[in-house]
Structure 1
Amino acid sequence: MNLFKYNGTLYIVPTPIGNLSDITYRALKILKEVDLIACENIKRTNILLEHFNIKNTLISFNKNNEFYKTDNLIQKLKQGKKIALVSNAGTPIINDPGYLLIKKCHIFCIQIIPLPGPCSAITALSASGISTNRFCYEGFLPSKKKIRQNLLHSLRKEKRTIIFCESKYRIIETIKDIINEIGKNRHIVIAREITKKWEIIYGNKAKVMLSWLENNKNIYSKGENIIIINGYKKDKNINISENTINTFQILKNFLSLKQSVLITSKIHKVSKNNLYQYAIKNKEK
């Protein structure tokens, strides 16, 4: 059964995020063989093509023109053209133009072939030392301070690892916002200039990271940053009110531990298990 109405094919081709050697053989083959390459920035893509001695037709396809150029590309695909979609760096569509084009390819039953390849967020996560089993990607943080703070506040109890992108211009302000909205002791990792000469991946408590950045301003003076935040973990410390403790201690002078816990929990309506754990933890006190 033929799932596609047209012979054209759109290839989603990831390109290196810094080190040109990270390109795949398959990506180079596609870039050579397609009828044209739709790229976010012609100058940037030309640097890549010239490095590998590839000559092909390039057209600009970016956030400023994608709405009116999408229909033009769809027409070419309907005519049977093979088109490669590339961004400035990394995997296209992720924070880059192309969503509308992909959506319309699905609507018109045009074949889409995605190639695997570089992605700064995943590359940074793999080296972060933070849990990779479950994570959420929030893209670039809002540039407006209040909106950014509200977003961070909404994620303060997100249990999954959180990944953001941030520019060099706002990195310190963003770390301050993380401290205020998520917590000064939350572990975070900053990955800067992934795969490039000045690559740095470093993690610590948010308050330590702020001090580190403020004392080493040259560290973030170039390039973009990936910020990875450890997911929320419920505080294991058991908080028991002072009145509850006083009641428990009085009863403990006359009754067994089990009886003291049972009566105290009923008087103050607290969990027997929490009170018992508190008693065991503070036995010597």
Structure 2
Amino acid sequence: MCMSGSENVRKEMDGVLYVVATPIGNLDDLSDRARQTLAKVDLVAAEDTRHSGRLLQHLGLSKQMLALHDHNERARVAGILDALAAGRQVALVSDAGTPLISDPGYLLVREVRAAGYRVSPVPGPCALVAALSVAGLPTDRFLFAGFLPAKRSGRQAALTELAREPATLVFYESPHRIIEFMKDLAEVLGADRECVLGRELTKTFETFYSGRADEVLEQLESDPHGARGEFVVMVRGAAPTPAGEASVLDTDKLLELLIKELPVKKAARIAAEVSGLGKNELYQRALELKDH
């Protein structure tokens, strides 16, 4: 059912959902507006209530809190809509940084907007923007890919799909996978691809590693703290190449990587999804590559 203009105006005057960016490490990065917003809202929807509870305690605030994370977000939407309908003000926060950027909140924001309520951003810290600002890589165009698949085959397939992307690539990665991630990146994108890694941004042990992919991998492996903390991985985009040539090279490279880890049939199916080429054609090509 479509809402009339007056109904939209009425909802605009009711509750508001504030999407509030919180520090990624240094608590002094919380803006005055974010403090004021958290102080005035009636309810805080947090990715982890214990983590955000400590932030509120630091601010001297006591608020009703509601856990909203990847596993319960859909179930929480109705309750938050009820709160907004009652004229309550709600803040959405994640564990660190800006909500929805590799964090929960997409479903909530979409449903709240669809219901006609105001959604207001309270901007602030964001790990990918902070890292890009000091990386020394091109920032006129970048592609944020977030967290890649945890399994090697999926991760390599995703990297292969991005291999010819000319924009600077930005990824998030966890400490227990960063070494394997960098090995795959060097193998798929090339050991000479320029990379910059930011670790523990804004925190006491903030560290940046830079150089060729193989050099950065060596730096990580030689650093006793190299597999600790959260990472932002930034990679220079690919140099322009003829489209036809890139397509042939990418498809073979993708199949070669996949058949190391998977049965030929499954490798062909994944390659077809990534490349848009026919599954039967890729299956035959995979068999040829496997025989060699």
Match of 2:277 in 1: none
Query: Residue 58 of structure 2 aligns with which residue?
Result: 51
1:194 aligns with 2:197: no
Alignment RMSD (CA, Å): 1.3
Deviation for aligned residue 1:219: 2.4
Answer whether contact 2:43 2:63 (CA < 8 A) is retained.
Answer: yes
Looking at structure 1, the residues matched to 222 and 115 of structure 2 have their Cα atoms a distance apart, in angstroms, of: 54
Q: Which residue of 2 aligns with 1:145?
A: 152
Answer yes or no: is the 8 Å Cα contact 2:175–2:231 preserved in 1.
Answer: yes
SS, match of residue 22 in structure 2: coil
1:232 alignment counterpart: 238
Residue identity matched to 1:68:
A
Quote the offset at 1:46 in angstroms. Answer: 1.3
Identical positions, percent: 38
Match of 1:162 among 154, 161, 169: 169
**Following the alignment from structure 1 to structure 2, what is the Cα–Cα distance between the partners of residues 196 and 157?**
34
1:36–1:59 Cα contact (<8 Å) kept:
yes
The residue number in structure 2 matching 1:111 is 118
Separation in structure 1 between the aligned mates of residue 236 and residue 65 of structure 2, nearest angstrom: 41
Higher helix share: 2
How high is the TM-score relative to the length of structure 1?
A: 0.80
Q: 1:77/1:141 Cα in 2 relative to 1: closer, same or farther (>3 Å)? A: same
- The within-5 A match list for 1:1-285 is 3-6=8-11, 7-220=14-227, 222-234=228-240
Q: Deviations over 1:62-99 (max 9, x none)?
A: 11211111111011112211100000010011111111
Structure 1 residue runs of 5 or longer lacking an equivalent are 236-285
Aligned residue identity for 1:186? R
Q: Do the aligned residues in 2 keep the contact of 1:5 with 1:108 (CA within 8 Å)?
A: no
| SS state at 1:59 partner | strand
Counterpart CA distance in 2 for 1:4 and 1:120 is 35
Runs of 4+ in 1 over 3 A off after TM superposition: 1-5
Note the residue ranges of structure 2 that are not aligned, 5 or more in a row: 242-292
The number of residue pairs the alignment matches comes to 234
Of stretches 47-56 and 109-118 in structure 1, the one that deviates more from structure 2 is 47-56
Structure 1 counterpart SS, 2:87: coil
SS in 2 for 1:11: strand
CA contact (8 A) 2:209 2:219 kept: no
Superposition deviation, residue 141 in structure 1: 1.5
State how far apart, in whole Å, the 1-side matches of 2:156 and 2:202 are. Answer: 30
**TM-score, with length taken from structure 2:** 0.78
